[in-house]
Amino acid sequence: GMEGLRVSSVLLTGCDGGLGLGLLKGLLEQPSPPRHLFAACLDPQGKGCGHQPVPKPSCLLADVTDPNSIKAAVRKVREEVGSAGLNLLINNTSTTRRSTLATETAENMSLVYTTNTIGPLQTSQAFLPLLKEAAEAQGQREMSCSRAAIINISSILGSIEVAEAWEERQDICYRCSKAALNMLTKCLALEYGSSGILCVSVDPGRV
């Protein structure tokens, strides 16, 4: 779990329901919740954001497939955190389409890849300046979620080696998008690591 996580500012995407909403509640229930918690939803008026216990997160409209929407979210975050920057970006927005190899389509592949892989890329690029500021603001040397980090919520279904649950769900578009997300995480780590930004993929397990 997230016990003992002490982090000043967090942006969590995909808070409209499911895992995102669960993560949001987990962050709010911390002994010392983040001072700035940004819940990025497609529908800020929806169940994800509106009905949270205090402290209430700042709810941002964020469509990770739309660069202008991401830019607007960056501006809002900057207004609140100032020169302290953003400590933790959790790229959780995810979509899937049920499919098999026989039924998979180019349309499915494009749609799912745009949300699951390009979305986290664009979001990470846009928030890099704020993450860098946080990495520099913290006096600590070692990399951590409390200093500056990008966490990409991936899936065991993206593992090429494990090839989990093939009989249950082939979902080619989803598997390919998550395998690509894992490579994106590796690229982010190679490029942003020198700035003190931790970049990891995590599989949330069965949710």
* pLDDT tens digits for range 85-105: 999 999 999 999 999 999 999
Task: Kindly give the interhelix angle for 119-137 and 172-192, rounded to the nearest 10 degrees.
Answer: 30
E-strand ranges in 66-180 read 88-91, 149-153
In a domain, 18, yes or no: yes
Kindly state whether residue 3 falls inside one of the protein's structural domains. Answer: no
Structural domain including 25 reads: 9-202
Domain tally for the chain? 1
Domain membership flag for residue 191: yes
The pLDDT assigned to 49 comes to 61
Please tell me whether the overall predicted TM-score, pTM, comes out greater than 0.75 for this model. Answer: yes
Indicate if the pLDDT at residue 54 is higher than 50: no
- The pLDDT assigned to 206 comes to 63
Question: Which pLDDT belongs to residue 6?
Answer: 80
Q: Is the CB of residue 26 less than 8 Å from the CB of residue 207? A: no
For 106-125, how does the pLDDT look when each residue is reduced to its tens digit (9 = 90+)? Answer: 999 999 999 999 999 999 99
Average pLDDT value for residue range 24-35 = 90
d(CA 131, CA 30) in angstroms, rounded, equals 22
CATH number at residue 47: 3.40.50.720
Is 207 among the domain residues? no
Residue 4 within a domain: no
Residue 194 lies in a domain: yes
